[in-house]
Homo-oligomer: A and B are copies of this chain.
Amino acid sequence: MLEIQRLSTTQPDFEAGLAALTDWDDGATHRVEAAVGEILQRVRQEGDVALLEYSARFDRLRAETVSALEVERARRQAALQGLEADDRAALEEAAERVRAYHEHQLESSWRQEEADGTVLGQQVSALERVGVYVPGGKAAYPSSVLMNVIPARVAGVDEVVMVAPAPDGEISPMVLAAAEVTGVDRLFLLGGAHAVAALAYGTETVPGVDKIVGPGNAFVAEAKRRVYGHVGIDMVAGPSEIVIICDGQTDPEWIAMDLFSQAEHDEDARAILVCPEARYLDEVQTAMERLLPDMERSEIIRAALARRGALICVRDLAEAARVADAIAPEHLELSVVEPERMAATIRHAGAIFLGRHTAEALGDYCAGPSHVLPTSRTARFASPLGVYDFQKRTSLIQCSPAGAERLGRIAARLARAEGLTAHARSAEYRYGSGD
Interface 0/1 of A170-185, CB less than 8 Å to B: 0000100000000000
Expressed in whole angstroms, the Cα–Cα distance for A225 and B230 within the complex equals: 13
Is A422 part of the binding interface, using a Cβ–Cβ cutoff of 8 Å? yes
A90's partner among B105, B373, B413 (CB-CB below 8 A) is B413
A343's partner among B123, B254, B301 (CB-CB below 8 A) is B123
Interface 0/1 of A280-307, CB less than 8 Å to B: 0000000000000001110001000000
Pick the interface stretch among A1-9, A46-54, A73-81, A423-431: A423-431
Contact A427 B361 (CB under 8 A): yes
Nearest-neighbor residue (CB-CB) of A430 within chain B = B357
Contact A415 B364 (CB under 8 A): yes
Nearest-neighbor residue (CB-CB) of A380 within chain B = B210
Expressed in whole angstroms, the Cα–Cα distance for A383 and B126 within the complex equals: 11
Expressed in whole angstroms, the Cα–Cα distance for A265 and B423 within the complex equals: 10
Is A362 part of the binding interface, using a Cβ–Cβ cutoff of 8 Å? yes
Number of copies: 2
Pick the interface stretch among A10-18, A61-69, A388-396: A388-396
> Which of A122, A297, A414 has the most chain B CB atoms inside 10 A of its CB?
A414
Contact B393 A386 (CB under 8 A): yes
Q: Given the known A-B contacts A211-B381, A231-B381, A358-B399, are A367 and B407 also in contact in the complex, defined by CB atoms under 8 Å?
A: yes
Contact B400 A393 (CB under 8 A): no
Min CB distance A115 to B, Å, is 13
In the complex, what residues of B have CB within 8 A of residue A26's CB?
A: 229-230
Min CB distance A267 to B, Å, is 14
Is A278 part of the binding interface, using a Cβ–Cβ cutoff of 8 Å? no
In the complex, what residues of B have CB within 8 A of residue A168's CB?
A: none
Nearest-neighbor residue (CB-CB) of A400 within chain B = B357
Interface 0/1 of A254-274, CB less than 8 Å to B: 100110110111000000000
Q: Given the known A-B contacts A232-B378, A350-B394, A414-B365, are A257 and B429 also in contact in the complex, defined by CB atoms under 8 Å?
A: yes
Expressed in whole angstroms, the Cα–Cα distance for A370 and B264 within the complex equals: 45
A143's partner among B355, B362, B380, B414 (CB-CB below 8 A) is B414
Contact B373 A395 (CB under 8 A): yes
Contact A361 B424 (CB under 8 A): yes
In the complex, what residues of B have CB within 8 A of residue A86's CB?
A: 413
In the complex, what residues of B have CB within 8 A of residue A351's CB?
A: 394-397
- Classify chain A's interface size: 35 or more
Interface 0/1 of A403-420, CB less than 8 Å to B: 110011111111101111
Q: Given the known A-B contacts A257-B434, A396-B354, A403-B357, are A104 and B94 also in contact in the complex, defined by CB atoms under 8 Å?
A: no
Beyond A87-B413, A359-B429: 18 further Cβ-contacts under 8 Å? A97-B407, A123-B352, A127-B381, A128-B380, A229-B376, A232-B382, A254-B430, A264-B420, A296-B422, A301-B422, A350-B394, A352-B394, A354-B396, A356-B430, A357-B399, A361-B424, A365-B423, A366-B407
13 pairs from A and B in contact (CB 8 Å cutoff): A87-B414, A90-B417, A91-B414, A141-B418, A253-B429, A261-B422, A261-B426, A265-B420, A358-B399, A359-B427, A359-B430, A366-B407, A388-B388
Give chain A's interface residues, CB within 8 Å of chain B. 26, 86-87, 90-91, 93-94, 97, 101, 104-105, 110, 112, 119-120, 122-123, 125, 127-128, 141-143, 174, 210-211, 225, 228-232, 236, 251, 253-254, 257-258, 260-261, 263-265, 295-297, 301, 339-340, 343-344, 346-370, 373, 376, 378-384, 386, 388, 392-401, 403-404, 407-415, 417-427, 429-430, 434
